[in-house]
């Protein structure tokens, strides 16, 4: 059994399914997600341990090659929800406390990432502005999906804030002539 060493030092079992779900949640196609998981399974099969950073660097490198818009969405998600800013080759810094660039604004950060629907609105304003500078529809769609999935999985955001955030995201999608996201399951705050 291969162990994954997290940044905190904690270890957990390497699970292909967990990587596959993360790739799908980032917007990767099933084909690309399966391919990257197969490659990663091959990389870890004769090892006892691997770090989350090493997995992340490999995944981001492969996404850049196979589906660049998904790599962008993955990095976008990390910045907004995990407080990580990604540099080349998937290397990242983590901001536990301090100042973090969230969208067009710099704010104090204490490890929670995006906290409310107003911040989602600010991120949507950033995306709109980036579109004016040529951000492709494919990247916009990938970022919106990452934002939507992040809001759904945000454990410390209330149900009412999630509802508002999803409303803002769907209004943005509709303004582009795109279908709104539909919830498959009831929201949990």
71-92 pLDDT tens trace: 988 888 777 776 655 554 444 4
- Separation CA 187–CA 116 (nearest Å): 15
In 3D, which of 89, 84, 76, 95 has the Cα closest to residue 147? 76
- Separation CA 146–CA 171 (nearest Å): 16
| 62 pLDDT higher than 90 | yes
Residue 8: predicted pLDDT:
79
Domain assignment present for residue 100? The answer is yes
Q: Are residues 156 and 124 in the same domain?
A: yes
160-182 pLDDT tens trace: 999 999 999 999 999 999 999 99
Contact 90, 56 (CB under 8 A): yes
State both tokens at 155. 């454990």
| 105 pLDDT higher than 60 | no
In 3D, which of 144, 167, 146 has the Cα closest to residue 82? 146
For the chain, the maximum distance between any two Cα atoms, rounded to a whole number of angstroms, is 50
Domain assignment present for residue 187? The answer is no
Place of tokens 């500078």: 133
Residue 77: predicted pLDDT:
79
| 98 pLDDT higher than 50 | no
Q: Kindly give, in sequence order, each residue whose CB lies less than 8 Å from that of residue 81, ignoring residues fewer than 6 positions away.
A: 113, 114, 150, 154
Domain assignment present for residue 57? The answer is yes
Q: Are residues 117 and 135 in the same domain?
A: yes
Q: Are residues 82 and 154 in the same domain?
A: yes
- Separation CA 122–CA 53 (nearest Å): 29
Residue 112: predicted pLDDT:
57
Domain assignment present for residue 183? The answer is no
Ordered alpha helix ranges (H), the chain: 16-25, 30-44, 52-66, 68-77, 117-132, 137-153, 159-175
| 93 pLDDT higher than 50 | no
Which of 18, 43, 66 terminates a domain? The answer is 66
Domain assignment present for residue 55? The answer is yes
Q: How confident is the model at residue 19 (pLDDT cuts 50, 70, 90)?
A: very high
- Domain range for 84 is 71-175
| 94 pLDDT higher than 80 | no
Residues in the chain: 189
Residue 107: predicted pLDDT:
46
Instruction: Tell me the whole-structure pTM to 2 decimals.
Output: 0.67
For the chain, what percent of residues have pLDDT higher than 70?
Answer: 83
Residue 81: predicted pLDDT:
72
Contact 169, 151 (CB under 8 A): yes
Domain assignment present for residue 168? The answer is yes
């Amino acid at each position: 059994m291969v162990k994954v060493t997290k940044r905190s030092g904690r270890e957990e079992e390497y699970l292909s399914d967990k990587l596959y779900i993360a790739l799908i949640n980032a917007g990767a196609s099933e084909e690309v997600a399966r391919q990257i998981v197969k490659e990663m399974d091959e990389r870890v099969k004769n090892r006892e341990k691997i770090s989350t950073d090493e997995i992340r660097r490999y995944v981001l490198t492969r996404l850049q090659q196979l589906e660049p818009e998904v790599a962008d969405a993955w990095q976008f998600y990390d910045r907004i929800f995990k407080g990580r800013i990604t540099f080349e080759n998937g290397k990242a810094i983590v901001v536990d406390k301090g100042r973090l660039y969230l969208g067009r604004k710099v704010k104090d950060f204490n490890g929670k990432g995006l906290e409310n629907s107003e911040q989602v609105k600010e991120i949507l304003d950033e995306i709109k502005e980036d579109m004016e500078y040529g951000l492709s529809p494919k990247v916009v769609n990938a970022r919106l999906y990452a934002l939507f999935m992040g809001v759904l999985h945000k454990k410390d955001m209330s149900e009412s804030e999630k509802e508002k955030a999803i409303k803002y995201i769907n209004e943005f999608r509709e303004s582009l002539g795109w279908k709104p996201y539909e919830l498959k399951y009831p929201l949990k705050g």
